[in-house]
């Protein structure tokens, strides 16, 4: 009689978590002012923004922004008081009669202390082109933008790029660049944006209006004018091929045609040469139809022949030109 013994082993894994408190040095509380003036090139006014906050410990998550300050901007035309925006948490107002290279002075009064700063509004270089790139991102929802601009040579500065759909509030993507290597040169850089922010529900924008009920796209395409002296690219397409074959077998004594190796070489090419925009020359030398799809096997039990369509590319290319449907 055999006896079977079953052993059950229970292993309990447990872990503990220990919170480590790091004592960081904390200096006296200070006032932090973040001020800026920006202007849209299509508008005749500028917008001043001043954010007032206080320093806080590194691990402090409390909001230190304050709305108790008096803020104004001094210009040649007088002082402009900045109004606190409770939703955006900063002071702001519009500045009319803005001039580039002119000094603008910020004054902030908080807790019986006065703070002062001065800055000039520098005209930035315009964007020359924005096109979509073809590089892919690891994130399938991101698409590439290619931005081209010419950096002014006489100014060494930083550029803050803001990407976002118009009317998107403060939900923008930002990129900070320095003209250390682009100063005085035309430069194109790449930036990936999340297309879900711009093309919701697979929407897209077209420069020419396309009615919703339109039956087609070609008839609604816009008309470009002023394109002169454009030389078309020369179209030349050559597709050569080489096929070799080697058969090895036992040689026959006294037979010069059965020496043990049969080597066969086959070569040819297909060429397409564009003579004009409307005329293309097709050339083929020893065409290779070995890669053409074979006709399907069929059993014919009636008195009519079976018609199989020609699958050879040289003979079926552009045959739809002569179609009546």
The number of domains in the chain is 3
CA–CA separation, 36 vs 33, rounded Å? 10
Do residues 116 and 131 both lie within one domain? no
Is 12 inside a domain boundary? no
- Helix spans in 115-248 (H): 195-198
CA–CA separation, 137 vs 194, rounded Å? 10
Burial (CB count within 10 angstroms: exposed 0-12, middle 13-18, buried 19+), residue 48:
buried
What 3-state DSSP class applies to 53? strand
| pLDDT tens column, 34-61 | 888 877 777 788 888 888 888 877 777 7
pLDDT of 294 over the 60 cut: yes
For the beta carbon of residue 272, count every other beta carbon within 10 angstroms.
15
* End residue of a domain, out of 97, 120, 143: 120
Is 240 inside a domain boundary? yes
Is 71 inside a domain boundary? yes
Its domain, for residue 169, covers: 127-202
Is-contact 132 116, C-beta < 8 A? no
- Paired sense of beta strands 78-81 and 103-110, if any: unpaired
CATH of the domain at 40: 2.60.40
Is 291 inside a domain boundary? yes
Is 324 inside a domain boundary? no
CA dist list (Å): 184 to 123, 156, 194, 215: 15, 9, 31, 49
Q: For residue 278, give both structure tokens.
A: 């409307």
Residue position matching structure tokens 């925009």: 277
Q: For residue 200, give both structure tokens.
A: 């919701």
Is 277 or 147 the better-scoring residue by pLDDT?
147
Confidence grade of residue 204 (pLDDT, cut at 50, 70, 90) = low
> Is this prediction's pTM over 0.85?
no
Do residues 115 and 147 both lie within one domain? no
Burial (CB count within 10 angstroms: exposed 0-12, middle 13-18, buried 19+), residue 82:
buried
What 3-state DSSP class applies to 226? coil
| pLDDT tens column, 179-189 | 877 788 888 88
């Amino acid at each position: 009689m055999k006896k079977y013994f079953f052993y059950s082993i229970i292993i309990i894994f447990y872990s503990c978590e220990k919170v480590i408190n790091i004592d960081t040095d904390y200096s006296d509380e200070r006032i932090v002012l973040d001020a800026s003036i920006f202007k849209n090139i299509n508008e005749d006014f500028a917008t001043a923004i001043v954010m007032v906050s206080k320093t806080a410990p590194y691990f402090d998550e409390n909001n230190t922004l304050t709305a108790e300050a008096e803020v104004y901007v001094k210009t040649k035309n007088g002082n402009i008081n900045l109004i606190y925006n409770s939703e955006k948490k900063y002071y702001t107002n519009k500045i009319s009669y803005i001039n580039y290279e002119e000094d603008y002075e910020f004054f902030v009064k908080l807790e019986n202390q006065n703070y002062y700063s001065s800055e000039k509004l520098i005209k930035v270089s315009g964007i020359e082109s924005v096109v979509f790139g073809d590089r892919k991102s690891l994130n399938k929802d991101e698409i590439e933008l290619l931005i081209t601009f010419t950096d002014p040579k006489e100014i060494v500065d930083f550029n803050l790029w803001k990407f976002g759909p118009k009317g998107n509030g403060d939900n923008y993507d930002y990129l900070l660049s320095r003209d250390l290597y682009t100063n005085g040169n035309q430069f194109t850089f790449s930036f990936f944006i999340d297309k879900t922010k711009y093309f919701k529900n697979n929407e897209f924008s077209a420069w020419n209006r396309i009615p919703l009920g339109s039956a087609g796209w070609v008839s609604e395409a816009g008309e470009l004018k002023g394109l002169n002296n454009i030389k078309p690219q020369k179209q030349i397409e050559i597709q050569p091929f080489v096929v070799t074959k080697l058969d090895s077998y036992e040689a026959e004594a006294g037979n010069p045609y059965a020496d043990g190796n049969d080597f066969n070489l086959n070569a040819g090419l297909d060429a397409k040469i564009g003579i004009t925009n409307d005329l293309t020359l097709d050339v083929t030398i020893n065409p290779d139809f070995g890669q053409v799809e074979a006709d399907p096997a069929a059993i014919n039990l009636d008195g009519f022949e079976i018609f199989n369509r020609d699958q050879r590319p040289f003979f079926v290319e552009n045959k739809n030109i002569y179609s009546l449907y």
